[in-house]
């Protein structure tokens, strides 16, 4: 099956300079979309339009949206990809109010705020697709490793579902993509740090960590490009009847059906 066309669509990929975001930006551009990427730091090389913004900052987020409006007249596809695990493990007693706020700002509020600013134009044009990049952690928190991150992604899942329902008759689709372990810089660093502190190899570290979630049945991490293929399908008109759903892309690691 050939995917239906996204040629000429304007796509914003937040955090589109590295990892999963970069793979999504590259794939959408390859498919003919006009791609804008944003991040805090300008990359040395990017094939896409770049606008700097820290999306945990309300003012910088508003400026990003204004620059897009001025240069492109709005967008058709929004990939809310910014996020990550930034707080320490160790469970509830190690996490301060500041840790919780930091994780919520990065993984939840940044997307809610950007959606709110960009949605009026999508609603006006009666079309648009929003993808929230969540995580399998949003359905399976590991208390000793990623508690605040997992809770912020669970909230993102819930918000995304409600937003999809609100917008379903306005021509705007909203979907959630939840990767499992994916080979990006922070994931590789996390594994290396874990292995070093446990005095084991990164491969053994990966096995130990995955054992806590029941393992990855496919026996490997995802590549960022594999997540990008799924996102490409979801934003294309081939997925016109999909909204409000969560897609895990995890090599089978989530142990539950729902």
Residues forming the active site: 149
89 vs 171, beta carbon nearer ligand NAP: 89
132 vs 173, beta carbon nearer ligand NAP: 132
4 vs 220, beta carbon nearer ligand NAP: 220
65 vs 187, beta carbon nearer ligand NAP: 187
Q: Report the first-to-last Cα separation within the chain, whole angstroms.
A: 27
62 vs 123, beta carbon nearer ligand NAP: 62
Query: How many residues are listed for the chain in this entry?
Result: 258
With beta carbons less than 8 A apart as the criterion, state whether 76 and 11 touch.
yes
Q: Cβ atoms within 10 A of the Cβ of 214, count?
A: 13
Residues that bind ligand NAP (CB under 6 A): 15, 17-21, 39-41, 53-56, 81-84, 106, 133, 135, 179, 181-182, 184-187
Determine the Cα–Cα distance for residues 226 and 166; give it in Å rounded to an integer: 30
What is the DSSP annotation of 71-137?
HHS--SEEEE------S--S-GGG--HHHHHHHHIIIIIHHHHHHHHHHHHHHHHT-EEEEEE--GG
For residue 67, give the 3-state DSSP assignment: helix
> 119-122, long-range: CB within 8 Å, 24+ apart, which pairs?
119/167, 119/172, 121/69, 121/74, 121/75, 122/74, 122/75, 122/76, 122/78, 122/171, 122/172
Chain Cα centroid distance, residue 231: 10
């Amino acid at each position: 099956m050939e995917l239906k066309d996204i040629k000429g669509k304007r796509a914003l990929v937040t955090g589109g300079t590295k990892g999963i975001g970069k793979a999504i930006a590259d794939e959408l551009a390859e498919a003919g979309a006009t791609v804008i990427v944003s991040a805090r730091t300008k990359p040395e090389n990017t094939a896409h339009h770049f606008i700097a913004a820290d999306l945990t900052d309300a003012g910088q987020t508003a400026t990003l949206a204004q620059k897009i409006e001025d240069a492109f007249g709005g967008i058709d596809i929004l990939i809310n990809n910014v996020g990550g695990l930034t707080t320490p493990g160790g469970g509830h007693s190690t996490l301060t109010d500041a840790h919780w706020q930091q994780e919520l700002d990065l993984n939840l509020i940044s997307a809610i705020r950007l959606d709110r600013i960009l949605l009026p134009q999508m609603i006006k044009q009666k079309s648009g697709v929003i993808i929230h990049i969540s995580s399998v952690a949003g359905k399976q928190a590991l208390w000793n490793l990623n508690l605040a991150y997992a809770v912020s992604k669970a909230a993102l899942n819930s918000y995304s579902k409600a937003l999809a329902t609100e917008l379903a008759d306005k021509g705007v689709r909203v979907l959630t993509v939840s990767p499992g372990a994916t080979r990006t810089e922070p994931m590789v660093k996390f594994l290396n740090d874990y292995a070093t502190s446990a005095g084991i190899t990164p491969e053994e570290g990966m096995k130990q960590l995955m054992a806590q979630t029941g393992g990855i049945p496919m026996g490997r991490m995802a590549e960022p490009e594999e997540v990008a293929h799924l996102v490409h399908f979801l934003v294309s008109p081939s997925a016109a009847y999909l909204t409000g759903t969560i897609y895990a892309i995890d090599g089978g690691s989530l142990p539950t059906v729902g």
